[in-house]
């Protein structure tokens, strides 16, 4: 049974941010869920250099901006893409990322759908930096749509459109936490067609130095084949467990192991172009965890997930493992997102 029933969509008034609406609506219709639209007024970015100069009138200006935001969200909530869907709105002033994260927790949101960028001028908040902060600390999966790139076209249409997701795994429980949300999302987006979740693990090819070291110590074990075999057994076990969890959901679950010299580069090629032994077509969606084997900082900060987010044109579902999210010190969260002028 799907858990994607409460969907949060942050908006900043830009058409780029509004690209998330048809997709959120599609998911809500499939799951019988609801959509919560949020807009946050940030004084410094809303009014730019005039915020400090007009300090005696700042609250009045913020109140006016909040009223305009309410009117805007009301219009969006009653627009055609959200027709027939239980839609609510919420307006705040202050730190954009902090309010998005707070409402995701307080409203027990199941999925956050947002564009990677919105307005970047002083009158609106730059969603690029907002998206980065939200991804790092979101307690729920984040479906990030790209400013330029694949739009999951056709998903707002009534005709069946099977969706194919490539799920990147590295053998860790952290990355494995992405499998269930990915399967639920694919099932919701594909209905009534049959979607596919492809579990993928990439094995780095040994360097010349590593091969020479094995020869020097007399190791005759084929480590490459052993690694590939171990990965295959792991992915098969993940597939079987996911099939049990999803029950009768109309979703095909497949897996494959590929060798590569650069994990992020290979992952993007596999997802966008369908390259690889077991892949015959591109994917519609890339699914990754914020961190994997190396812990919180390894995947997101300067590694595989960060590079994929930067260079892939595909929508990306980012899952922050719940166990780690619960353990994260509150101070770390507050240090990153607090402050009116920080985002």
Q: What single string gives the DSSP state of each residue in 40-78?
A: EE-HHHHHTTHHHHTGGGHHHHHHHHHHHHHHHHHHHHT
Across 76-90, average pLDDT: 96
- Asked whether the beta carbons of 181 and 237 are under 8 A apart, the reply is no
Predicted confidence at residue 296, as pLDDT, reads 42
Closest CA to 27 of 244, 242, 172, 191: 191
CATH assignment of 6-141+328-337, among 3.40.50.720, 3.20.20.70, 3.40.50.620, 3.40.50.1220 = 3.40.50.620
Is 111's pLDDT higher than 70?
Answer: yes
Q: How many other CB atoms sit within 10 Å of the CB of residue 211?
A: 13
Across 30-47, average pLDDT: 86
Predicted confidence at residue 44, as pLDDT, reads 62
Residues 130-157: tens digit of each pLDDT: 888 888 889 999 999 887 655 564 455 5
164-288 and 6-141+328-337 share a CATH fold: yes
CA–CA separation, 300 vs 27, rounded Å? 26
Structural class in CATH, domain 164-288 = alpha beta
Boundaries of every domain in the chain:
6-141+328-337, 164-288
User: Mean pLDDT score of the chain, rounded to an integer?
Assistant: 80
Report residue 320's pLDDT band, with 50, 70 and 90 as the boundaries: confident
CA–CA separation, 123 vs 125, rounded Å? 7
Residues 273-313: tens digit of each pLDDT: 886 656 678 899 999 998 655 544 444 433 788 888 888 88
More confident residue, 72 or 221: 72
Report the chain's terminal Cα–Cα distance, integer Å: 37
Pairing state between β 316-319 and 142-145: antiparallel
More confident residue, 110 or 324: 110
């Amino acid at each position: 049974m799907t858990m994607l029933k409460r969907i949060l969509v942050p908006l900043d008034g830009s058409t780029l941010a509004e690209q998330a609406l048809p997709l959120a609506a599609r998911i809500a219709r499939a799951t019988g869920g609801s959509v919560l639209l949020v807009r946050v007024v940030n004084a410094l970015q809303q009014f730019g250099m005039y915020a400090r100069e007009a300090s005696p009138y700042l609250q009045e200006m913020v109140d006016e901006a909040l009223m305009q935001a309410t009117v805007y969200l009301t219009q969006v909530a009653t627009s055609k893409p959200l027709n027939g869907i239980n839609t609510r709105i919420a307006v705040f002033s202050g730190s954009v990322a902090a309010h998005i994260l707070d409402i995701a927790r307080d409203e027990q949101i199941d999925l956050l759908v947002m564009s990677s960028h919105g307005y970047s001028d002083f009158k609106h908040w730059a969603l690029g930096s907002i998206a980065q902060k939200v991804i790092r600390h979101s307690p729920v999966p984040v479906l990030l749509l790209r400013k330029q790139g694949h739009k999951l076209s056709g998903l707002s249409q009534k005709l069946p459109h099977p969706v194919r997701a490539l799920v990147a795994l590295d053998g860790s429980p952290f990355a494995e936490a992405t499998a269930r949300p990915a399967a639920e999302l694919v099932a919701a987006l594909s209905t009534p067609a049959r979607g596919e979740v492809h579990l993928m693990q990439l094995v780095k090819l040994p360097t010349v130095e590593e091969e020479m070291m094995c020869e020097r110590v007399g190791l005759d074990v084929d480590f490459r084949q052993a690694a590939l075999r171990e990965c295959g057994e792991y992915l098969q076990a993940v597939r079987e467990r996911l099939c049990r969890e999803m029950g009768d959901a109309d979703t095909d679950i497949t897996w494959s192991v590929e060798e590569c010299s650069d994990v992020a580069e290979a992952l993007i090629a596999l997802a966008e172009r369908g390259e690889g032994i077991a892949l015959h077509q591109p994917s519609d969606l890339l699914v990754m965890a914020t961190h994997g084997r190396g812990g919180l900082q390894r995947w997101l900060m300067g590694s595989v997930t960060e590079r994929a987010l930067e260079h892939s044109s595909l929508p990306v579902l980012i899952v922050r493992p719940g166990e780690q999210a619960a353990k994260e010190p509150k101070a770390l969260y507050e240090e990153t997102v607090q402050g009116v002028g920080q985002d």
